[in-house]
Chain A
């Protein structure tokens, strides 16, 4: 079973920041938090991952709480093309199971 919990859906206005939460209260010390997104009928796309420090790349920022039990993916300026299902995954050795994800809809 997936080790994460996410809200099923969220809306965001175009140009605003989209903040997607994820709970992973049973995460182990050596497990990373990954974020992927899937646009309809395509393979998932890697966004970002982290262990305990906050991470930022050209796509997004990842904020992980100090106790590592939850994290937030931030898309700083959402566009209509960011509409997708976003998956938060806790990565164990040879284990990449997906939860239900959050369907993000960016509205004009």
Chain B
């Protein structure tokens, strides 16, 4: 199946710094990518939908200026957590459908990034 590569797998940073997470579709083009956040023992929460060449669509309650999403190419989307604080510590996961725009496409997930803010 299609592969979505996410880096880094884990990152530890100081409070107030920014962290960038990359999500790449390795063998297919992804015009759309989804970004999720997951706290321990909870389900995945959709944060935003990233669209190649246009602005991301954020879910209600997700701060656009804090979680910057860039989808500059058909194979790369990035999530930057700006001025990170301990409450931003979480597991971040990206995903991409193999056929954007269809409701029966498969969604492939990255391996996730564990962010710990000290």
Contacts and interface: CB of A to CB of B under 8 A. Distances in A.
B14 interface: no
Contact of B110 (A43, A46, A91, A98): A43
A94 B112 contact: no
B77 interface: no
Interface stretch (B68-76, B81-89, B98-106): B98-106
Given A43-B93, A51-B104, A101-B43, A96 B110 contact: no
B107 interface: yes
Interface string A44-88: 111001010000000000000000000000000000000001010
A91 B106 CA distance: 10
A7 interface: no
Interface residues of A, number: 27
Contact of A98 (B1, B44, B101): B44
Given A51-B104, A94-B49, A98-B43, A43 B109 contact: yes
A86 to B, nearest CB: 11
A43 to B, nearest CB: 3
A100 B109 contact: no
Interface of A: 2, 30-32, 34, 36, 38, 41-46, 49, 51, 85, 87, 91-94, 96-101
20 contacts: A31-B103, A36-B107, A36-B109, A41-B91, A41-B112, A41-B114, A43-B4, A43-B109, A43-B112, A44-B109, A45-B109, A49-B106, A87-B43, A91-B103, A91-B104, A94-B32, A96-B95, A98-B43, A98-B45, A101-B43
